[in-house]
């Protein structure tokens, strides 16, 4: 499902789908908390002014009814514990409300992020191979982890603080105006520079956060590439170089973090100064009003309590904006992935047999501006075994990628059994084609699970049969845990030949119509190569087999051999036919490899 492009705020709102009612209830409970916190100072005010000070009762209607309800000022004066009990009761209620609100907020925040992770992962699975080929794995992981975690923190904490601040501004202003309009006007008026400062810094910090996220993505990529290719790093003595490369990226990341932190520090320092000035002004004016008998001590005490309750969250509004800035950047990076177009026709199309003749008709293909196949023509008889020989970059592997529709040709047509593969459902096509690559990937699971990965519950007998055909069964049985041996990431506990043979066994477990071996026997010795080819002859039984290799002995027994050069078929035929071509590419390659073997 392709998601429509949307604004950053619209995207953030979309992420909460399914949990919005819970979040709204949570926000309403924040309002209840605030009302309780703003009513508590009124209790102290009435106690000081009217109960202990004998001043006439001067409170707003929303609190006066409660005083009358519990017996009036005179009754309270004789039973002071009532006010203490009221304060205690309100705090208990506030605690219960806070607990329920926190539980609801956590449920909504974590639940929405869980759904976001599921949607993002599912979307990435449906993106075309070309997107994965041009994207950095480390950056994708960083977006799927750190950026989503930033959104999680926003949903579970920052958003709540933002709503609290807005509600506090509304509720607090209304209550403070009922106490004294002069002090309330000064309080609201002096909030203007606080908000202006926060907004100005928000724009700058937003830009710095964007740069920081990009740098962190590059840092993740360097780390991921190093850990993935640790064998190459060690084999070529690149550890020191890789450490320097990582340090350079880490230093750059640190500089950007310091830039962001310094701006935050400056913002919070300015807000501290502004809030301190505002509190001082309010205290001076308030004392003047109390001395002039325009304000009671109790009312002034209540108002100053509101000011301290009011200003520190307002000061923290700068932190809210900074986290909001990070969230905006995180959402934009997540949306970049969501806005990537999903692979078209993945689950639509026909599902014919894939065991027919395969034909490439005048196919042209380029990687960007680099041409690979140029009016390429080839016909492979269904159930036969064909082989590709060619130099690096000649287009051998590209042919198989086009056959699986991992890429689409710019022009020309590819058919199987006379049916254009564009009309065939992609999932069906790929399920019927098994491929073994030169560098196979093995999961961090048991050997049995790796071989039987096409099924939810691997069949032991089927997997063992496939392993025997791939000439790896005896190796597996020599391990202590046999088929239950856990393979490390990328199969690092196995030799190169063992990994390739396990990958071959994995390809043989499915009901495939086409088998592709993309230089997948390069890591095995000549004897094992011959044994695997002999075993595959017995196994294939009507399965179209495509073998790509630089080793002529691997190709020579194929029904037909294609020599590919400059994106075209330069030579084709059986081994004997190609050997009969004077100065032919195949013949030269065979003679060179034969002389090397004889010389050895």
pLDDT in the model for residue 538: 66
Instruction: Give the mean model confidence (pLDDT) for residues 572-580.
Output: 89
Q: What is the pLDDT of residue 62?
A: 66
Residues of the chain with pLDDT > 70, as a percent, come to: 89
**Predicted pLDDT of residue 99:** 92
Report the C-alpha gap between 318 and 162 in whole angstroms: 10
Q: What's the rounded mean pLDDT across residues 82-94? A: 85
Closest CA to 433 of 349, 353, 361: 353
pLDDT at 1: 41
Please give the average per-residue pLDDT across 291-298, as a whole number: 83
Report the CATH number at residue 201.
Answer: 1.20.1560.10
100 and 204 share one domain: yes
Residues in Cβ contact with 360 at an 8 Å cutoff, skipping those fewer than 6 apart: 376, 377, 378, 379, 399, 402, 412, 414
In a domain, residue 220? The reply is yes
User: Among residues 240, 264, 357, 378, which one has the least CA distance to residue 315?
Assistant: 264
3-state class (DSSP) for residue 390:
strand
What average pLDDT score do residues 358-366 get?
91
Beta strands across the sheet bearing 385-390? 433-436, 514-518, 544-548, 385-390, 560-565, 568-573
Distance from the Cα of residue 385 to its chain's centroid: 41
- Please report the pLDDT score of residue 267 as a whole number: 81
Count of CA atoms in the C-beta half-sphere (13 A) of 411: 7
Residue 348, in any domain of the structure: no
In a domain, 421, yes or no: yes
Asked if residue 472 belongs to a domain, the reply is: yes
Determine if residue 536 is left, alpha or beta; phi over 0 gives left, psi from -120 to 50 gives alpha, anything else beta: alpha
| Whether residue 306 sits in one domain with residue 406 | no
Residues 279 and 319 in one domain: yes
Q: Do residues 332 and 259 share a domain?
A: yes
For the segment 480-498, what is each residue's pLDDT rounded down to a tens digit? Answer: 888 888 886 555 577 777 8
The arithmetic mean of pLDDT across residues 378-387, rounded, is 88
C-beta neighbour count of 314 within 10 angstroms: 23
DSSP string over 53-121:
S-PPP---HHHHHHHHHTTHHHHHHH-THHHHHHHHHHHHHHHHHHHHHHHHHHHHHHHHHHHHHHHHH
Q: What is the pLDDT of residue 522?
A: 62
Same structural domain, 320 and 204? yes
Per residue in 506-543, pLDDT (tens digit) is 888 877 888 888 877 665 666 666 777 676 666 656 78
Greater confidence, 483 or 455? Answer: 483
For residue range 535-566, list pLDDT tens digits in order. Answer: 666 665 678 888 888 878 778 888 899 998 88
Kindly state the average pLDDT of the residues 344-355. Answer: 80
Q: How confident is the model at residue 2 (pLDDT cuts 50, 70, 90)?
A: very low
Q: pLDDT at position 137, please?
A: 77
CA–CA distance, 292 with 286 (Å, rounded to integer): 10
448 and 534 together in one domain: yes
Measured CA to CA, the distance from residue 118 to residue 122 in angstroms comes to: 6
Kindly provide the b/e burial profile for residues 423-445, where b requires at least 16 CB atoms within 10 angstroms of the residue's own CB.
ebbbeebbbbbbbbbbebebeee
Whole-angstrom distance, CA of residue 248 vs CA of residue 242: 10
Of all residues in the chain, what percent carry a pLDDT higher than 90?
Answer: 3
What integer pLDDT is reported at residue 332 of this predicted model?
85
Paired tokens of 192: 């203007």
C-alpha distance from residue 587 to each of 353, 574, 575, 581 (Å):
36, 12, 9, 7
Cα–Cα distance for residue pair 418/6, rounded to 1 Å: 43
Domain boundary among 338, 366, 396: 338
Residue 45 CB: number of other CB atoms within 10 A?
A: 23
Report the alpha-carbon distance of residue 221 to residue 187 in Å, rounded.
Answer: 50
Total structural domains within the chain: 2
Q: 186, 178, 560, 567: which is closest to 366 by C-alpha? A: 567
Six token digits for residue 495: 């030799």
Angle at which helix 20-46 crosses helix 159-179, to 10 degrees, equals 30
* Same domain as 134, residue 183: yes
The answer to whether residue 428 is domain-embedded is yes
Same domain for 330 and 393, yes or no, is no
For 354-361, what is the mean pLDDT?
Answer: 89
Residue 333 sits in the same domain as residue 479: no
Q: What is the DSSP letter of 349?
A: S
Tell me the average pLDDT across 15-41.
84
Q: Look at residues 330, 295, 322, 236 and name the one whose alpha carbon lies nearest to residue 9.
A: 330
Mean pLDDT over 140-156 rounds to 84
Instruction: Please check whether residues 314 and 415 belong to one and the same domain.
Output: no
Domain boundary among 304, 338, 372: 338
**Residue 2 domain-assigned (yes or no):** no
CA 319 to chain centre: 25
CATH code (residue 568): 3.40.50.300
Pairing of the two strands 358-367 and 370-380? antiparallel
What pLDDT was estimated at residue 3?
44
Predicted confidence (pLDDT) per residue in 241-279, tens digit: 778 888 888 888 888 888 888 888 888 788 888 888 888
Residue 339 is classified by DSSP as: T
Same domain, 253 and 380: no
Confirm whether 214 is domain-assigned: yes
Joined together, the tokens standing for residue 239 give: 């550890």
Q: Is 346 domain-assigned?
A: no
| Cα–Cα distance measured from residue 242 to residue 226, given in angstroms and rounded to the nearest whole number | 7
- Bridge partner residues of 67 (DSSP): none
Shared-domain flag, residues 330 and 402: no
Residue 499: give the domain boundaries: 358-599
Phi, then psi, of 41 in degrees rounded to 5: -65, -25
Long-range contacts of 181-190 (CB under 8 A, 24+ apart): 182/285, 182/289, 183/282, 183/285, 183/286, 183/289, 183/295, 183/303, 186/278, 186/281, 186/282, 186/285, 187/278, 187/282, 187/307, 187/310, 190/274, 190/277, 190/278, 190/281
């Amino acid at each position: 499902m392709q998601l429509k492009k949307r604004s950053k705020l619209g995207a953030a709102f979309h992420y909460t789908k399914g949990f919005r009612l819970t979040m709204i209830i949570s926000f309403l409970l924040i309002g209840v908390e605030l009302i309780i916190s703003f009513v508590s100072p009124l209790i102290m005010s009435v106690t000081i002014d009217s109960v202990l000070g004998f001043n006439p009762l001067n409170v707003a209607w929303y609190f006066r009814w409660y005083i009358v309800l519990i017996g009036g000022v005179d009754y309270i004066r004789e039973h002071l514990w009532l006010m203490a009990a009221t304060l205690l009761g309100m705090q208990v209620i506030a605690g219960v409300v806070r607990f329920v609100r926190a539980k609801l907020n956590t449920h909504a925040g974590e639940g929405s992020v869980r759904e976001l992770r599921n949607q993002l992962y599912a979307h990435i699975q449906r993106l075309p191979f070309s997107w994965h080929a041009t994207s950095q794995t480390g950056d994708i992981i960083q977006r799927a982890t750190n950026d989503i975690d930033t959104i999680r923190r926003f949903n579970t904490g920052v958003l709540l603080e933002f709503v609290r601040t807005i509600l506090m501004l509304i509720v607090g202003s209304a209550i403070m105006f009922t106490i004294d309009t002069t002090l309330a006007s000064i309080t609201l008026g002096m909030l203007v520079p606080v908000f202006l400062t926060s907004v100005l810094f928000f724009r700058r910090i937003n830009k710095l956060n964007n740069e920081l996220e990009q740098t962190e993505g590059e840092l993740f990529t360097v780390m991921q590439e190093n850990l993935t290719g640790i064998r190459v790093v060690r084999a070529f003595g690149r550890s020191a170089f890789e450490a320097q490369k990582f340090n350079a990226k880490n230093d750059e990341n640190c500089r950007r973090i310091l830039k962001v932190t310094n701006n935050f520090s400056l913002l919070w320092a300015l807000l501290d100064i502004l809030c301190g000035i505002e509190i001082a002004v309010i205290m001076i004016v308030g004392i003047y009003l109390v001395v002039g008998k325009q304000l009671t001590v109790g009312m002034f005490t209540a108002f100053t309590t509101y000011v301290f309750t009011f200003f520190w969250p307002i000061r923290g509004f700068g932190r809210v904006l900074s986290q909001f800035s990070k969230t905006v950047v995180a959402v934009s990076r997540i949306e970049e992935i969501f806005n990537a177009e999903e692979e078209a026709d993945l689950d639509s199309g026909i599902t014919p047999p894939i065991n027919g003749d395969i034909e490439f008709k005048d196919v042209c293909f380029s990687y960007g501006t680099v041409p690979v196949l140029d009016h390429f023509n080839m016909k492979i008889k269904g159930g036969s075994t064909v082989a590709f020989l060619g130099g690096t970059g000649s287009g051998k592997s590209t042919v198989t990628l086009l056959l699986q529709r991992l890429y689409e040709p710019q022009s020309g047509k590819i058919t199987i059994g006379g049916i254009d593969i564009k009309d065939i459902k992609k999932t069906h096509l790929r399920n019927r084609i098994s491929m073994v690559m030169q560098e196979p990937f093995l999961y961090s699971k048991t050997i049995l699970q790796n071989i039987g990965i096409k099924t939810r519950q691997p069949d032991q007998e089927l997997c063992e049969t496939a392993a025997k055909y791939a000439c790896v069964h005896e190796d597996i049985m020599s391990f202590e845990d046999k088929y239950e041996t856990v393979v490390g990431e990328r199969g690092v506990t196995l030799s190169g030949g063992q990994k390739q043979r396990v990958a071959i066994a994995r390809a043989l477990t499915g009901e495939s119509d086409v088998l592709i071996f993309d230089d997948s026997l390069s890591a095995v010795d000549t004897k094992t190569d011959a044994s695997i080819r002999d075993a595959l002859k017995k196994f294939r039984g009507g399965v179209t087999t495509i073998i790509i290799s630089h080793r002529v002995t691997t190709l020579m027994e194929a029904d037909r051999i294609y020599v590919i050069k400059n994106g075209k078929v330069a030579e084709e035929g059986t081994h004997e036919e190609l050997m009969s071509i004077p100065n032919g590419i195949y013949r030269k390659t065979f003679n060179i490899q034969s002389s090397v073997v004889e010389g050895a």
